[in-house]
A = this chain, B = another copy of it.
Amino acid sequence: MVLSSSPPSGFRDFLPRNLELRQKVSQTISRIYRSFGFEPIETSALENLEVLTGKGGGENEKLIFKVLKRGEKLTEALAKSEELADLGLRFDLTLPLARFYAAHQNDLPKPFKAFHIAPVWRAERAQKGRYREFTQCDLDIIGSNSWACELEIISAILKVFEALKIEGMTVFLNDRSLVYQALEQAGIPEDKRASACILIDKLDKIPREKINQELSILAGEKASQAVQSLLMDNSENRYAEVSPSSYAHLKEISSSISRLNKNAHIEITPSLMRGFDYYTGPVFEFRHPKLSGSLGGGGRYDRLLEKFGVSSIAACGGSIGFERLILLLEELGHSDETPGPKFFIAVFSEEMLSQTLELSSKLRNLGQSVDLYPGAAKLKNQFKYADQKKARYALILGPDEAKQNQIRIKDLKTGIESLADFESLVKLPD
């Protein structure tokens, strides 16, 4: 039986040329995060299932790829109709970070500024532009409740966009605690506020009348209208009435961002929720006019670590949506060409292979990058290969050249051929 060579549905392979831009962008993000004093961490791709399902992930919990128990444990689980899985693939990097911090807090600086660039997995219905394996680029500060955290995280992300020459980003900013207070004042009882937030969060996707209708069903006509005028009309200044102190706080973040990041446009947006259950304070999101949906976001999640027994620790984090960033860069015509090897060495004939190997080895020992064609083949095919690999110079060592202690060299930019001795090869410009 011949097997299908496609990756599983919703998964991707990356060819060398697909990786050029991805690797450049990933290195840029890592460099900028590091230059802001964030340090890299890594966690295991698999987590114990109860860590992933123990609240906090909201809708994403339904999308966990679960790993089947093995051996006797599986037999037992099947016999007793118990849970068949014991592990799961992480669906984000925030939950793993919370577990990581709880496990290692005594070995970490306080506060801890961490970043993590890694794949996550979600069993989403496969569709265009949505993948089941994708990269996230998180940065977090654990152990500080200062609004300087929000500022640092937003500034670092904006600096990444700047380094990638992306202009015209807008930061949308809100405060979940303000929303909760507003809902309270609108007369929505505590147990219905989370559901109301989920409704408001869908403003982008569902017609407004439908949301109003559902809000009325949830909390009554009067409360629904109060919520509408407060949150959905973007009447930011009404926030000042809800809680002058929280609003002043939010304004401070907003004005500092504007002041410190010359090219950033920032808007306070009362309807911004950022989905996840675990946010407790300010939330933010990055958007670009060329792309619908967000390029990243984050917020404060002061209570997420409680599930691991770490009480009253403040935490704030943000993330760049790597796949969407790549999409935007391609949209904007950015690309990155990794230079090919400096030398391509063709093999003139089977008889010349040994001497040709010697030549490549000598160049490599001097630190030169050398792509050797493995074995003799038609020279036409070898040169086609050199083009595909974007080599700078092609070298051929035929028996005549070897006798004269010379190497035939072809400049693959100009097409000019010449003879050279070994010493002059090394001096060639890249």
Contacts and interface: CB of A to CB of B under 8 A. Distances in A.
Interface of A: 1-8, 11-16, 19, 23, 34-37, 39-48, 50-51, 54, 65-68, 70, 84-85, 87, 89, 99-100, 102-104, 107-111, 113-114, 119, 121, 123, 132-133, 141, 144-149, 151-152, 155, 159, 256, 259-261, 307-309, 341, 344, 347, 353-354, 357-358, 361, 364, 368-376, 381, 385, 388-389
4 tightest A-B contacts by CB?
Answer: A146-B375, A37-B371, A11-B44, A5-B102
A67 B65 contact: yes
27 contacts: A3-B51, A3-B54, A3-B307, A5-B102, A7-B44, A7-B103, A13-B41, A13-B104, A15-B104, A16-B114, A35-B341, A35-B370, A36-B372, A37-B341, A37-B344, A37-B371, A46-B121, A66-B68, A67-B89, A68-B85, A109-B385, A110-B381, A148-B353, A148-B375, A159-B364, A256-B354, A260-B357
Classify the secondary structure of A's interface with B: mixed
Contact of A308 (B2, B141, B385): B2
A360 B136 CA distance: 26
Given A145-B375, A369-B34, A388-B109, A48 B87 contact: no
A54 to B, nearest CB: 6
Given A2-B309, A13-B103, A364-B159, A8 B357 contact: no
Contacts of A341: 34-35, 37
Contact of A371 (B16, B36, B121): B36
A368 to B, nearest CB: 8
Contacts of A109: 385, 388-389
Contacts of A111: 373-374, 385
A67 B144 CA distance: 38
Contacts of A44: 7-8, 11-13, 133
A203 to B, nearest CB: 29
A139 to B, nearest CB: 12
A202 to B, nearest CB: 23
Contacts of A155: 361, 364
Given A2-B308, A37-B369, A146-B374, A260 B361 contact: yes
Given A151-B357, A375-B146, A385 B133 contact: no
Contact of A39 (B16, B113, B147): B16
Contacts of A307: 2-3
B40 A374 contact: no
A15 B43 CA distance: 9
Nearest to A341: B37
A353 B89 CA distance: 40
Contacts of A256: 354, 357
Contacts of A50: 3
A261 B3 CA distance: 40
A248 to B, nearest CB: 13
A330 to B, nearest CB: 17
Contact of A5 (B70, B152, B308): B308
Most chain B CB atoms below 10 A, which of A67, A133, A141, A144: A67
Contacts of A23: 40
A181 B2 CA distance: 29
Contacts of A70: 65, 123
B6 A19 contact: no
A120 to B, nearest CB: 10
A255 to B, nearest CB: 10
